[in-house]
């Protein structure tokens, strides 16, 4: 029975992989879709530097590089762009992000009219709750030559089940007032240990990976789950040496052993919001997590950066931790599942070409 189940899983995986490859081939035949690679993504990253959004992740080159690591495209209509990618955790599902560039209320309608239907469906990602009645979403209900339905879903896989929290670097570096009394007391407990902080560097990759595996092993004994927990951090660290990204961070040694690692992205636009990407910490070392937050805030403040976005959270515990640092502001995001059916767009275009030839 076990072998039969494994065989079935292999067949399902193979079939899904083939369907994803077919989807990519179909998309490559459509003129408005541009597949982004290391060779051509520079223009997109430069374009993001002109964008402003309090949800600073959606204007972040690092965010799209990490989230779109399995495949990333831009859908273009004039000077409006929609980033889309394979879901990093749900095989065969496509994520659609909010449009960027010039206002164009019809762009999602056009995208959903032309895009081939992916094997595991479509999800709109990082939609601000106040935008659920925005024209660019409402216009999707117009006739498309396809059946389209939208449904709000609770996000359980990606990191905005709980609100996005953006902190003041000045407030966190100072840690003054009643709100930070516990944090200050915890910091005192770290004084009994020998600590050292060094800039994030590929030189320490082996020690960072060893620490990440140690951190993950405290959460699960399953080797596959450990791999899944660690792999996003390894992928993030792989970007450190890439000049296309404005990355910094620290490695924290306690008693000569790595016990925390941080990585952040400096702002790429005038809003001056940094983005936190890695914040791994051995929380059993009392006072270390507070020291990590304070050190990060101090470094960014010295760079002239007033805010850092720590993103949303998958769990209430993680959200409670971020709330300890008194966010400067918070954003509620939601996800929307999109069900579409109708003519296959590639087949439809081939029929139109054939009809035009016949008419000629």
Q: What is the pLDDT of residues 166-190, one digit of tens each?
A: 999 999 999 999 999 999 999 999 9
| pLDDT above 90 coverage of the chain, percent | 69
Q: Which of 53, 73, 67 is nearest to 127 (CA)?
A: 53
d(CA 136, CA 120): 24
d(CA 259, CA 193): 12
DSSP code at position 90: S
Crossing angle of helices 205-217/223-237, nearest 10°? 150
Whether the Cβ atoms of residue 345 and residue 30 lie closer than 8 Å to each other: yes
The domains of the chain, with CATH numbers, are: 22-158+334-359 (3.40.630.30), 164-331 (3.40.630.30)
Indicate the range of 35-49, 108-122, 140-154 predicted with least confidence: 140-154
pTM over 0.85: yes
Q: Which of 195, 173, 198 is nearest to 303 (CA)?
A: 173
Res. 13: pLDDT tops 90: no
């Amino acid at each position: 029975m076990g072998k039969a189940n494994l065989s079935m899983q292999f067949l399902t995986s193979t079939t899904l992989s083939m369907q994803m490859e077919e989807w990519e081939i179909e998309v490559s035949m459509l003129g408005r879709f541009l597949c982004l690679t290391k060779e051509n993504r520079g223009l997109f990253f430069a374009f993001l530097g002109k964008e402003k959004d309090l949800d600073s992740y959606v204007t972040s080159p690092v965010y799209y590089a990490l989230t779109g690591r399995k495949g990333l495209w831009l859908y273009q209509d004039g000077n409006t762009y929609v980033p889309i990618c394979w879901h990093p955790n749900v095989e065969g599902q496509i994520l659609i992000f909010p449009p960027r560039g010039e206002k164009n209320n019809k762009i999602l309608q056009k995208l959903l009219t032309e895009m081939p239907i992916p094997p595991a469906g479509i999800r709109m990602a990082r939609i601000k709750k106040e935008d659920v009645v925005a024209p660019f979403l409402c216009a999707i209900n117009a006739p498309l030559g396809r059946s389209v339905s939208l449904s709000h879903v609770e996000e359980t896989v990606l990191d905005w089940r709980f609100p996005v929290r953006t902190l003041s670097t000045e407030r966190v570096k100072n840690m003054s007032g009643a709100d930070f009394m516990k944090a200050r007391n915890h910091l005192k407990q770290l004084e009994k240990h020998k600590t050292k902080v060094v800039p994030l560097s590929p030189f320490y990759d082996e020690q960072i990976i060893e620490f990440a595996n140690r951190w993950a092993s405290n959460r699960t004994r399953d080797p596959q789950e450990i791999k899944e927990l660690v792999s996003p951090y390894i992928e993030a660290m792989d970007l450190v040496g890439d000049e296309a990204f404005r990355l910094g961070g620290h490695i924290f040694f306690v008693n000569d052993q790595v016990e925390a690692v941080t990585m952040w992205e400096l702002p790429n636009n005038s809003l001056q919001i940094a983005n936190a990407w890695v914040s791994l910490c051995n929380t059993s070392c009392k006072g270390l997590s507070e020291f990590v937050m304070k050190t990060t805030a101090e470094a960014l403040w010295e760079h002239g950066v007033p805010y850092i976005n720590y993103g949303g959270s998958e769990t209430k515990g993680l959200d409670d931790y971020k709330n300890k640092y008194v966010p400067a502001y918070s954003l509620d995001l939601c996800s929307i599942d999109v069900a579409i059916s109708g003519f296959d767009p590639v087949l439809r275009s081939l029929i139109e070409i054939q009809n035009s030839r016949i008419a000629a």
